[in-house]
Structure 1
Amino acid sequence: MLSDAETVLLGGTANRGFVVRIGDTVRRPLRASSGATHALLEYLERVGFEGAPRLLGVDEHGREVLSYLPGETVQAPYPAWSMTDAALDSVAVLLRDYHQAVADFRPVGLEWAEPVPDAYVDGLIGHNDPNLDNVVFRDGVAVALIDFDLAGPGSALWDVATAVRLWAPLRPDADIHDVRRGRSPERLRRFADSYGLSEPDRARLVQAAAENHVWCMDYVRRGAETGHPWFHQRWTTGESELTDRTNTWFTQSARTLHQILVR
C-alpha cells in the first residue's frame, strides 16, 4: 500500500504500478540485474554524464532509490511537441551523448537483464530501451534517459535501431495514428543524420531495426506467457497481430528504407 507521500509514476510495462516518486527521489523494485544497472549509473555519474538518474541507495522496503529527473516523458496521447523533427533530433543527440559517455565502461562479472543478438554486441553497454516514455524532455528537448532495466552489452547500432524503430516509427502506415503517419522513411534518415551514424552502421540499420522488433516482441511474448499481467494484456489486445504486420512490412520495405539511408 502506498504511503501518502508516494506518487505512482506513469509509463512502462514491466514495472507498471511499482515505480513511485517520493519528493526528489524515485523508488523502483530491485531485479537480478540491479547490481549491473547500479554499476552503470555510478559510472555515468563519475564521468559527469547528466542525462541519467543518480543511484542514491536502497530504501527500507528493498527498493532502489534514484534521483528524480524533472521534465516530461512522452505518453499517449502524444503531445504535438513530442512528434516534431526537433524533438526527434534531440533524442538522437542525447543517445549519441550517452554512447560517448559510456564508451570506456568495461564491466566484468555483472549479470545483465536480456542479451541482445550477438551480431549487435561490440563492447558498448547500451541502454537497449530508449522508448518514448524512457526519455525525459524539458522545453521540448530530450535531456535524459531513464529506466535502465534492459541495459547491457550491445552497440550504438542496436540502440539507434531501437530508438528509430519507435520514434520514426518503423511500422505500417495504417498502424501509425498520429502526425508521423507517412513520414517514417524521412524520420528514419533524419535520426541517422542527427546521430551522426557511421556509413557501415547506416548500411546495417534497417536490418538491425527489423531484428530489434523481433527481439523486443519476443520479450513481450515471453512475459505474457509467464503470466506478467501487463505484458499479457498488451500481447492479447492486438500486439501479436501488430507484430506480424510489422514483420511483413519490414520485409516489403527493407530495400526502399535502405536506399533512403545510403543514397
Structure 2
Amino acid sequence: MAHNVQHIPAAPLLRVDALNLEYHTHQRVIRATHNVGFEVFAADRFVLLGPSGCGKSSLLKAIGGFLPAVSGRIELEGQSVTQPGPDRLMVFQEFDQLPPWKTVLENVMFPLLASGKAHRAEAREHARYFLDKVGLSAFADAYPHTLSGGMKQRVAIARALAMQPKVLLMDEPFAALDALTRRKMQEELLALWEEVRFTLLFVTHSIEEALVVGSRILLLSPHPGRVRAEINSHQYGINDFGSSDFQQTAQRIHELLFSDPESGPATAPAETAKPRFKVVGK
C-alpha cells in the first residue's frame, strides 16, 4: 500500500521582517536599513553583502541585540530578539578582542565560566576541543600578543563556537588580514563548518568572499540598505575563484549592487533566467 509522505519545510531559525534601523550622529539621525526582510535556516552560511553604508553591520548589531529597531521584527526560533544573549555571539574585525592577560585557553574558557554554562573541567574540555578544530592546540598556553592577526581571529572563533550559539555573527572578520591570510582563513572557516555545521551570519563587502563563504547571499543597496536580491551560492568553493562561471556570477552581482534600481540591472533578463538569482528590488 502506497503512502503519500508530506515533507514539511523546516521553519527558519532566524526571521527578519520589515526591519528599519537608524543610528545617531552629532548632526542628524541616519536611516541604516529600509524594510529589510530575510530568513536564515539552521546550518545556513548566510552572507549580508553590500557596499559601505548599506546597513549590513547595523543589521548584524540588531540581530545581536545591540541596536534597537525603529520598526519591524527580529525573531530567533519564534522569539523576539530585544537584547544580547549567548544564543547569538559576535566575532568582530578587530584583532584586540582577546584579554591580553589571559592565555589562549583561558580566553576560550572565559565566557563558558562567566556565563555559568560549564564548570572549570568541562570548560577546559570544550575549549581544547574547539582550539583543536581551529588548529591552535599547540598555542593553548600562549598569550594573545604572541599571535598573528589570523591566529587571534581563530581564537575568537573558537571562543564563540565553544559557547555553542544558535547563530554565529561575523562582522567582516577577515577584512584587515593580508590577501593570503584572508584566503587561508576562508578555507579554514569552511572546513570548520563542514565539521560542526553551525549557523553563520557573515557580513562582507567583498563579492568574491561572499560567493566563497556563503551558501546564500542577501544583496543590499546603499543609503539606506534595501534588499536588492537573494542568491544561492552553495555551488562555489575556495577553488572556484578562477572559473568562468564564478567570475560571471561575480559580475552579475556587481551589476545588481550598483545598477539603478528604477531601471533595473543592465543584465536583468539574464538574472531572472537563472534560478539561483531572486531579484527583489525594482
Q: TM-score, normalised by structure 2?
A: 0.25
Which structure shows the higher strand fraction?
2
Q: Which of 1 and 2 has higher RCO (CA within 8 Å, sep 6+)?
A: 2
If you compute each CA radius of gyration, which structure gives the higher value, 1 or 2?
2
Which has the larger share of helix?
1
